[in-house]
């Protein structure tokens, strides 16, 4: 695999990520280093970067550059955003940088910043219609998306560090400071007529503030999944968090579960900015994207020459990504998917499920064995663990919980994902059981991994009969699938027979 | 990676395992299929295999052969043991097999069976001196080991299936049946003068019976680790299990936690055989090996042309195996190990630890990042999960718990492995904290993964001072290591300063 490093010098944080990848096929984040450099610290109305922040930034970039060289990274993409873009004394920064390192840093325009953020988020969430935004330290980028393409772009100097320095001069914040902060935030988006929560338009947010708000909300709700990517954050939840941040002083804020120390000062300004943005567009909720600018820069490289470099089907891609990284047995997984779906289709009169469940079943079939990469024994449990901890693109939390349950249930035992009940719907327990039962039968019809079973024909009973057509000897497959059909009996409350179909020859 | 399949036709079970490997470098079990064929079922004093068991065995072998072909296995090694070795009507079996499949099955001698079992166990447990035994369905193999080489070998037709059929004709077992069973077991090993629990001689057992006994004992003790490999099973624990099995009938036995249904009938005979063997040698405990004949056949291929094909240092090998399978960053891990050990050595006056702790620290350093293969975020937690679920050779359970805790603690937070307290010693909590603290400092001195830190010199304080010698700019490394030294302060109850040493140039 090749390695690419993306370096992003922001107003607040400077970050390095390293992706290992095979172009267009699969990728994995293998390193991340994050520095709270606060390059924009102390930048006043004269827009001068201060010597100490410059020194910190140069140190961090110099280390990142060494890092890339010593870990044999093949490509380095380094960009700077608003802090450096808007500095009146850019020359000073460049001089300091050049004295320390030969890193090839490029300042990107606000347009580019919005575009790459859009790329990251659109791929991460499978967003085709809607609005993405990125609230950083120095500015907020907003991009409208139609049919998977960016149609409008807007950048405004409403950043959490900038607004905090300018408006938050009291602790807890005074009424006057708060009034000015809110007015400035409202002002920032007031001209955006295209920012509208029309039908089918989702709002997707990225950046540290959004992730922090999500984490605080999850802690407050005792949310059972430890992941902010793809989390739905409501306008009401943000309001509740703002209210807390307004009333508390710094020491009290640091006690808020989910709020990291280095975010304790700047999160109120961030929340107020995001509230203003949502109110301007009339959005009642947003989806958190775990990916943004840096990942967007990665996708531009990874998916080139696609224009825009957008995954056609992020869900299927991320499942295949996971499968490929785990060296899956392709023919076997495809056959298990094929047999599962054939059973699914023929049993529609019994379960009544549609395209959504069918897709989940197909996706689960492709990754049902990935746990083997951890260890063969209990690989269904390892698979569940991996799905819980993997990057899934375009899946909601509910969907990813169901996927992990299906993978877990493809052999042995049964779980209906009870610990995650708060994320599921009450009927999902049955749904998981019914889909798992089909996956398990398909898996055992492929136990020899030799694609000996050609097709299955279902006779709706009672009892239900699955007639197995095989290209060779499939006695053991049929016998074993029959032996594992208890889950089916329970899930469908019907007797089941699995039989070899008379050979057509 | 290449793939090799090992097929083992036993008296009770027929099994296929598939290993993916790079010769001499790394390997991983990627498939296993197990069939309760019971080939020896109904074999009476005339030693005739019965038609139905022959049919079952041929079916299974035929499926295994198809399996190997369709999954593109590069090498197939298939062996048969006592059931087929001793059959009076071997020809019948061969005829049936040839009619169905072209699998190249080889009958191995009792000598070979003992040897390969020894190979599996000696590598799995790092056993250099002692005795290995394998109690199967038809026979038990016993091998004495000196300096890592087999010195004596013994095989006797004391197998769990054979003894059950011959002696257990009542349910629960009658006093008379039990007396005869015990007499036969005692008789089986009575001539073995070299079977002796001398100083430094460990007893290591393999096979389904030993694993079953371990599982029952673990359930009874509420043992916190779900792994039988490397578990210590005492003679007293086996006696307690025998006693239960003697008193219960089949239905009651099936309720015993840890006892699988298909082992409910044969485990008593197995326990009695193992008790007799232990008593003959005066062993008060045995170590369970999760590897045996099949893995021995694998090692013979994997380690060829070594004679015997024994890993010189199974512990280090299995750690490297894990690291290589996870594509570890070699230079980085070696540097973290080097710095950790340098800190360890210079701090001996404070911690007083010796070679054992030093080795654990070095091993943990090599695998501290393996969790990245699951996902970068929380990779310390994923690493802990992987260590818990990986094949470790030659490590005790206590050692593997400590390893996983060190990996977990190499960054962020702290766990002293409390859930596994029953396996640890009371002072291990401190031990874990002290070793983890060194690993963490070393890790942050290598945060740029560029081996910029050359050496560390420790001045014992108070306060303790770590002087960092670097080949380049290591300001960030020193700053970050200092920032993460809280764990050190708590673990050693001493103040710590980490400083850049004045450059020697």
Chain B residue whose CA is closest to A474: B63
pLDDT, position B237: 98
CA distance A474 to chain B (A): 9
Q: How far apart are CA A352 and CA A434, in angstroms?
A: 11
Q: Are residues A389 and A324 in the same domain?
A: yes
Contact B209, B145 (CB under 8 A): no
* B93-148 confidence digits (pLDDT tens): 999 999 999 999 999 999 999 999 999 999 999 999 999 999 999 999 999 999 99
For residue A449, give both structure tokens: 């991994």
Q: Are residues B356 and B375 in the same domain?
A: yes
Helix axes of B355-367 and B314-325: crossing angle, nearest 10 degrees: 20
Chain B residue whose CA is closest to A58: B476
Contact B158, B139 (CB under 8 A): yes
Considering only CB atoms, which chain A residues are within 8 Å of B454?
Answer: none
CB atoms within 10 A of CB B461: 12
Q: How far apart are CA B296 and CA A277, in angstroms?
A: 66
Q: Please indicate, yes or no, if residue B8 is contained in any of the structural domains.
A: yes
Sheet holding B285-288, edge to edge: B149-156, B140-146, B130-135, B202-206, B285-288, B232-234
What percent of chain B stands above pLDDT 70?
Answer: 99
Q: Are residues A67 and A169 in the same domain?
A: no
Considering only CB atoms, which chain B residues are within 8 Å of A31?
Answer: 372, 376, 449
Among residues B57, B87, B108, which one ends one of the domains? B108
Sheet holding B453-459, edge to edge: B453-459, B464-470, B496-500
For residue B272, give both structure tokens: 């009695």
Q: Are residues B182 and B201 in the same domain?
A: yes
Q: How far apart are CA A46 and CA A95, in angstroms?
A: 20
CA distance A477 to chain B (A): 9
Q: In a mutagenesis test of the A interface, which of B14, B374, B472 is the best target, namely the one with the most A β-carbons within 10 Å?
A: B374
CA distance A448 to chain B (A): 5
pLDDT, position B313: 95
What percent of chain B stands above pLDDT 90?
Answer: 88
Q: Please indicate, yes or no, if residue B369 is contained in any of the structural domains.
A: yes
Chain A residue whose CA is closest to B34: A447
Among residues B108, B140, B159, which one ends one of the domains? B108
Q: Under an 8 A CB cutoff, do B374 and A391 touch? A: no
pLDDT, position A8: 96
Q: Please indicate, yes or no, if residue B308 is contained in any of the structural domains.
A: no
Once rounded to an integer, what is the mean pLDDT over residues A332-349? Answer: 98
Considering only CB atoms, which chain B residues are within 8 Å of A100?
Answer: 473
Contact B80, B94 (CB under 8 A): no
Q: What's CA A263's distance to the chain center, in Å?
A: 22
Q: Under an 8 A CB cutoff, do B391 and A373 touch? A: no
Q: Under an 8 A CB cutoff, do B60 and A329 touch? A: no
Considering only CB atoms, which chain A residues are within 8 Å of B376?
Answer: 28-32
Chain B residue whose CA is closest to A101: B473
Query: How many inter-chain contacts (A to B, CB under 8 Å) are there?
Result: 104
Q: How far apart are CA A290 and CA A205, in angstroms?
A: 9
Query: Which residue bears the tokens 């190249």?
Result: B104
Backbone angles phi, psi at A206, to 5 degrees: -135, 175
* B326-354 confidence digits (pLDDT tens): 999 999 999 999 999 999 999 999 999 99
* B483-494 confidence digits (pLDDT tens): 999 999 999 999
Reduced to 3 states (helix: H, G, I; strand: E, B; else coil), residue B127 is coil
Taking 70 as the threshold, does the pLDDT of residue B36 lie above it?
Answer: yes
Q: In a mutagenesis test of the B interface, which of A22, A28, A367, A389 is the best target, namely the one with the most B β-carbons within 10 Å?
A: A389
Q: Which of A72, A68, A75 is nearest to A101 (CA)?
A: A68
Q: How far apart are CA B1 and CA B72, in angstroms?
A: 12
Q: Is the four-CA dihedral A119, A123, A126, A132 of positive or negative sign?
A: negative
Considering only CB atoms, which chain A residues are within 8 Å of B63?
Answer: 447-448, 473, 476
Give the closest of B62, B67, B386 to A473, CB-based.
B62
Q: How far apart are CA A501 and CA A499, in angstroms?
A: 6
Q: Under an 8 A CB cutoff, do A66 and B378 touch? A: no
Give the closest of B59, B452, B476 to A59, CB-based.
B476
Taking 90 as the threshold, does the pLDDT of residue B294 lie above it?
Answer: yes
Q: How far apart are CA B330 and CA B328, in angstroms?
A: 6
Q: What's CA B217's distance to the chain center, in Å?
A: 17
Once rounded to an integer, what is the mean pLDDT over residues B283-302? Answer: 96
Q: Where residue B504 falls among pLDDT bands split at 50, 70, 90?
A: low
pLDDT, position A502: 84
Q: Please indicate, yes or no, if residue A310 is contained in any of the structural domains.
A: no
**What letter does residue B262 receive in the DSSP assignment?**
G
Q: How far is CA A446 from CA A332, A476, A488, B55, in A?
A: 7, 10, 17, 21
Once rounded to an integer, what is the mean pLDDT over residues B264-275? Answer: 97
- b/e map B397-426, b = 16+ CB within 10 Å: bbbbbbbbbbbbbbbeebbbbeebeebbee
What percent of chain A stands above pLDDT 70?
Answer: 99
Give the closest of B66, B332, B452 to A448, CB-based.
B66
Q: Under an 8 A CB cutoff, do A448 and B476 touch? A: no
Q: Under an 8 A CB cutoff, do B67 and A449 touch? A: yes
Q: How far apart are CA B213 and CA B215, in angstroms?
A: 5
Q: Please indicate, yes or no, if residue A304 is contained in any of the structural domains.
A: no
Q: How far apart are CA A68 and CA A2, in angstroms?
A: 13
CB atoms within 10 A of CB B321: 22
Chain A residue whose CA is closest to B477: A63
Q: In a mutagenesis test of the A interface, which of B6, B63, B68 is the best target, namely the one with the most A β-carbons within 10 Å?
A: B63
Once rounded to an integer, what is the mean pLDDT over residues A420-436? Answer: 96
Give the closest of B28, B391, B449 to A71, CB-based.
B449
Q: Under an 8 A CB cutoff, do B59 and A372 touch? A: no
Q: What's CA A212's distance to the chain center, in Å?
A: 15
CA distance B128 to chain A (A): 27
Q: How far apart are CA B333 and CA B349, in angstroms?
A: 26
* A108-124 confidence digits (pLDDT tens): 999 999 999 999 999 99
Q: Which helix (H) or strand (E) holds A286?
A: strand A285-288
Length, in residues, of chain A: 505
Give the closest of B28, B376, B389 to A30, CB-based.
B376
Q: Under an 8 A CB cutoff, do A452 and B390 touch? A: no
Q: Under an 8 A CB cutoff, do B389 and A378 touch? A: yes
Helix axes of B397-408 and B428-445: crossing angle, nearest 10 degrees: 40
Q: Under an 8 A CB cutoff, do A33 and B447 touch? A: yes
pLDDT, position B112: 95
Q: Please indicate, yes or no, if residue A301 is contained in any of the structural domains.
A: no
Chain B residue whose CA is closest to A472: B66
Q: Under an 8 A CB cutoff, do B332 and A71 touch? A: yes
Chain B residue whose CA is closest to A34: B447
Q: How far apart are CA A217 and CA A336, in angstroms?
A: 39
Tell whether omega for the bond before B392 is within 30 degrees of 0, i.e. cis.
no
Among residues B262, B294, B326, which one ends one of the domains? B294
Once rounded to an integer, what is the mean pLDDT over residues B64-81? Answer: 93
Q: Are residues A350 and A455 in the same domain?
A: yes
Q: How far apart are CA A480 and CA A503, in angstroms?
A: 19
Q: Are residues B72 and B128 in the same domain?
A: no
Considering only CB atoms, which chain A residues are within 8 Å of B33?
Answer: 447-448
Q: Please indicate, yes or no, if residue B306 is contained in any of the structural domains.
A: no
* B379-418 confidence digits (pLDDT tens): 999 999 999 999 999 999 999 999 999 999 999 999 989 9
Q: Are residues A478 and A338 in the same domain?
A: yes
Once rounded to an integer, what is the mean pLDDT over residues A32-59? Answer: 92
Q: Are residues B477 and B375 in the same domain?
A: yes
For residue A418, give both structure tokens: 């009870």
What's the domain range around B66? 2-108
Q: Are residues B78 and B208 in the same domain?
A: no
CA distance A393 to chain B (A): 14
Chain A residue whose CA is closest to B474: A63
CA distance B51 to chain A (A): 17
Considering only CB atoms, which chain B residues are within 8 Å of A452?
Answer: 66
Once rounded to an integer, what is the mean pLDDT over residues A188-217? Answer: 93
* B169-201 confidence digits (pLDDT tens): 999 999 999 999 999 999 999 989 999 888 778
Q: Check which CATH number belongs to the domain holding B489 and give it.
A: 1.10.3210.10
Considering only CB atoms, which chain B residues are within 8 Å of A372?
Answer: 30-31
* 3-class DSSP string for A182-207: HHHHHHHHCCCCCCCCCCCCEEEEEC
Give CA angle at A155 (A152, A160), nearest 5°.
140
Q: What's CA A74's distance to the chain center, in Å?
A: 25
Q: How far is CA B274 from CA A176, A305, B84, B265, in A?
A: 82, 67, 23, 16
Q: Where residue A504 falls among pLDDT bands split at 50, 70, 90?
A: low
Chain B residue whose CA is closest to A100: B473
Using CB atoms within 10 A of its CB, is residue A429 exposed (0-12), middle (13-18) or buried (19+)?
middle
Once rounded to an integer, what is the mean pLDDT over residues A178-190? Answer: 97
Q: Are residues A222 and A361 in the same domain?
A: no
CA dihedral A288, A290, A296, A300 (to 10 degrees): -120
CA distance A209 to chain B (A): 18
Give the closest of A29, A331, A385 to B376, CB-based.
A29
**What letter does residue A420 receive in the DSSP assignment?**
G
Lowest mean pLDDT among A97-106, A432-441, B61-70, B401-410: B61-70
Cβ-based neighbours of B145, under 8 Å, separated by 6 or more: B118, B122, B127, B128, B129, B130, B131, B132, B151
Domain count, chain B: 3
Q: How far apart are CA B500 and CA A210, in angstroms?
A: 38
Q: Which of B505, B504, B502, B500 is nearest to B453 (CA)?
A: B500
For residue A127, give both structure tokens: 């967003």
CA distance A215 to chain B (A): 15
Contact B286, B210 (CB under 8 A): yes
Give the closest of B31, B66, B390 to A375, CB-based.
B390
Give the closest of B100, B389, B452 to A375, CB-based.
B389
Q: Which of B468, B470, B436 is nearest to B450 (CA)?
A: B470
Using CB atoms within 10 A of its CB, is residue B243 exposed (0-12), middle (13-18) or buried (19+)?
exposed
Taking 80 as the threshold, does the pLDDT of residue B242 lie above it?
Answer: yes
Q: Which of B195, B387, B354, B156 is nearest to B273 (CA)?
A: B156
Q: Check which CATH number belongs to the domain holding A236 and give it.
A: 3.30.420.150
Give the closest of A31, A63, A376 to B30, CB-based.
A376
Q: Check which CATH number belongs to the domain holding A91 and give it.
A: 3.30.420.40
Q: Under an 8 A CB cutoff, do A374 and B391 touch? A: no
Query: Which residue bears the tokens 């050595």?
Result: B345
Q: Are residues B143 and B86 in the same domain?
A: no
Q: Please indicate, yes or no, if residue A307 is contained in any of the structural domains.
A: no
* CA atoms within a 13 Å half-sphere pointing along the CA-CB vector of A29: 21
Q: Where residue A200 falls among pLDDT bands split at 50, 70, 90?
A: confident
Q: Under an 8 A CB cutoff, do B67 and A450 touch? A: yes
Q: Are residues B287 and B347 in the same domain?
A: no
């Amino acid at each position: 695999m090749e390695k690419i490093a993306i370096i992003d010098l922001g107003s607040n944080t400077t970050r390095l990520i390293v992706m290992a990848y095979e172009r267009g096929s699969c990728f994995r984040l293998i390193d991340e280093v994050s520095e709270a450099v606060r390059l924009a610290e102390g930048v006043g109305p004269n827009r001068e970067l201060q010597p100490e922040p410059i020194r910190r930034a140069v140190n961090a970039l110099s280390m990142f550059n060494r890092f890339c060289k010593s870990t044999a990274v093949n490509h380095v993409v380094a960009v700077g955003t608003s802090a450096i873009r808007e500095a009146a004394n850019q020359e000073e920064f460049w001089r300091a940088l050049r004295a320390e390192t030969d890193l090839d840093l490029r300042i990107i325009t606000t347009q580019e910043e919005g575009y790459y953020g859009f790329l990251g988020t659109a791929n991460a969430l499978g967003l085709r219609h809607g609005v993405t935004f990125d609230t950083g330290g120095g500015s907020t980028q907003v991009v409208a998306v139609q049919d998977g393409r960016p149609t409008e772009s807007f950048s405004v100097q409403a950043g959490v560090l900038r607004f905090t320095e300018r408006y938050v001069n009291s602790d807890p914040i005074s009424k006057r400071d708060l009034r000015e902060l809110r007015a400035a935030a409202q002002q920032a988006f007031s001209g955006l007529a295209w920012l509208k929560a029309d039908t089918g338009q989702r709002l997707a947010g990225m950046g540290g503030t959004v992730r922090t708000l999500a984490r605080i909300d999850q802690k407050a709700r005792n949310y059972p999944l430890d992941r902010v990517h793809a989390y739905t954050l409501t306008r009401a939840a943000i309001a509740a968090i703002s209210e807390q941040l307004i009333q508390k002083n710094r020491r009290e804020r640091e006690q808020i579960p989910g709020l990291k120390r280095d975010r304790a000062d700047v999160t109120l300004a961030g929340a107020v900015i995001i509230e203003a943005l949502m109110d301007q567009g009339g959005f009642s909720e947003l989806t958190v994207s775990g990916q943004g600018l840096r990942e967007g820069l990665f996708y531009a490289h990874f998916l080139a020459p696609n224009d825009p470099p957008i995954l056609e089907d992020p869900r299927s891609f991320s499942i295949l990504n996971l499968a490929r990284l785990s060296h899956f047995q392709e023919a076997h997984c495809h056959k298990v998917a094929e047999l599962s779906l054939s059973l699914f289709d023929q049993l529609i009169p019994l379960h009544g499920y549609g395209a959504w469940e069918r897709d989940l079943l197909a996706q689960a079939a492709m990754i049902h064995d990935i746990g083997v990469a951890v260890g063969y024994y209990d690989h269904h449990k390892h698979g569940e663990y991996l799905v819980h901890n993997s990057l899934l693109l375009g899946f909601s939390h509910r969907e990813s919980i169901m996927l992990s349950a299906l993978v877990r249930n493809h052999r042995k035992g049964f779980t209906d994902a009870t610990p995650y009940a708060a994320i599921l719907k009450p009927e999902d327990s049955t749904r998981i059981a019914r889909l798992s039962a089909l996956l398990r039968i398909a898996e055992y019809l492929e136990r020899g991994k030799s694609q000996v079973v050609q097709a299955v024909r279902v006779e709706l009973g009672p009892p239900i009969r699955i007639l197995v057509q095989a290209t060779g000897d499939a006695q053991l497959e049929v016998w074993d699938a029959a032996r594992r059909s208890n889950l089916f009996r329970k899930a469908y409350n019907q007797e089941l027979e699995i039989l070899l179909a008379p050979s057509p020859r």
